[in-house]
């Protein structure tokens, strides 16, 4: 038994590589979505900088704030703002509040997500729920905040999108005509599609910002399979007995939220990747994305579709 226990901990310690960086980041400002739990909370905890935390509710935000303060974080450096990615109006309000408080932004971590949402549902903006929360919402937030990252004479800003390997579910095609249709919808495909779209959009945005000589990098990061609240809608997690039986196995095979935060922190802070853009990062190094994500025509189609959707919303609000 002693040998078995030792083996378990050796396995976990080998897997739990920690980002060792000691960069000085005084005065830098970051935005992290999904910052009230899981990987997002751990990123905030380790940044030790001024961070704007997107939170789904006042209660969740307050609990996260108390947790971070108890872990030694400076309460003066953390600002919690309610953010509902299923509402374009909420996203615009979130961005407006940051513009009112800051003149520049050094980094944006698009971390929040919903996984395997159990029912087909349309948002108030007329889009399938998972598609808007995971993809369109972050695209809108990114486009809104880019001007704060274009500030002259400031350091290179970094935009990071957290994605999933489950995007391989769509390895050959991403049909934008069916993203909001009920026919053929299933929770697994909806999640995978949204994460693939994030990767494609990130690569397209990276090219456009580079062509514009903007001092902004855009990268995609796979944090690894983690044991967090993201799993709350998985079918097996709905049965309490099954959940309790699975917990030791999930602990063993999946990363903790803190472990999952390490590669994102590397992407945000390390001088090794300061000039890298349009990359897919995993386990502290560049990895190969799906070929579809590199397809130039697909990148252009998705980017144009996205701008059309977002501009349509802006036009509606301007005339309402």
284: domain CATH number? Answer: 3.40.50.720
**Which residue of the set 129, 191, 222, 266 is catalytic?**
191
Residue 1 inside a domain? The answer is no
> What pLDDT is attached to residue 1?
43
Sheet holding 280-282: strands in order across? 78-82, 50-55, 29-32, 107-110, 157-162, 216-222, 280-282, 285-287
How many domains would you assign to the chain? 1
pLDDT one digit per residue (tens) for the chain, 320 residues: 444 555 555 455 545 678 887 776 778 999 999 999 999 999 999 887 789 999 999 899 999 999 999 999 999 999 999 999 999 999 999 999 999 999 999 999 999 998 888 899 999 999 999 999 999 999 999 999 999 999 876 789 999 999 987 666 655 678 999 999 999 898 888 999 999 999 999 999 999 999 999 999 999 999 987 666 655 656 666 666 655 666 666 666 678 889 999 999 999 999 999 999 999 999 999 999 988 899 999 999 999 999 999 999 876 555 44
Asked whether residue 4 is assigned to any structural domain, the reply reads: no
> Is 244 a domain residue?
no
Which pairing describes strands 280-282 and 285-287: parallel, antiparallel, or unpaired?
A: antiparallel
Tell me whether residue 191 is one of the annotated catalytic residues: yes
- Is 252 a domain residue? no
Q: Give this prediction's pTM.
A: 0.89
Q: Is residue 236 part of a domain?
A: no
- Asked if residue 122 belongs to a domain, the reply is yes
């Amino acid at each position: 038994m002693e040998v078995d226990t030792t083996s378990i901990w050796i396995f976990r310690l080998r897997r739990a590589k920690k980002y060792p960086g000691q960069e000085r980041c005084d005065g830098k400002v970051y935005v992290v979505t999904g910052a009230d739990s899981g990987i997002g909370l751990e990123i905030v905890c380790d940044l030790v900088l001024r961070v704007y935390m997107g939170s789904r509710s006042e209660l969740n935000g307050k609990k996260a704030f108390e947790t971070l303060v108890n872990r030694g974080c400076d309460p003066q450096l953390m600002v919690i703002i309610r953010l509902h990615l299923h509402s374009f109006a909420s996203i615009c309000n979130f961005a407006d509040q940051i513009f009112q408080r800051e003149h520049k932004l050094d980094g944006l971590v698009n971390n929040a997500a919903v996984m395997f949402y159990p029912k087909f549902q349309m948002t108030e903006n007329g889009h399938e729920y998972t598609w808007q929360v995971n993809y369109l919402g972050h695209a809108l937030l990114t486009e809104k905040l880019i001007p704060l990252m274009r500030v002259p004479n400031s350091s290179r800003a970094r935009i990071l999108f957290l994605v999933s390997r489950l995007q391989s579910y769509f390895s050959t095609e991403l049909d934008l005509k069916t993203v909001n249709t009920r026919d053929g919808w299933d929770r697994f495909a909806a999640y995978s599609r949204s994460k693939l779209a994030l990767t494609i959009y990130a690569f397209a945005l990276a090219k456009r910002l580079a062509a514009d000589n903007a001092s902004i990098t855009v990268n995609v990061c796979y944090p690894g399979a983690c044991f967090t609240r993201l799993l709350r809608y998985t079918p097996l997690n709905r049965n309490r007995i099954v959940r309790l039986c699975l917990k030791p196995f999930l602990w063993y095979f999946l990363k903790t939220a803190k472990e999952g935060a390490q590669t994102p922190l590397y992407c945000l802070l390390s001088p090794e990747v300061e000039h890298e853009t349009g990359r897919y990062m995993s386990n502290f190094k560049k990895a190969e994305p799906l070929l579809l994500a590199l397809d130039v025509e697909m990148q252009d189609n998705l980017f144009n579709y996205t701008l059309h959707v977002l501009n349509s919303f802006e036009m509606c609000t301007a005339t309402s």
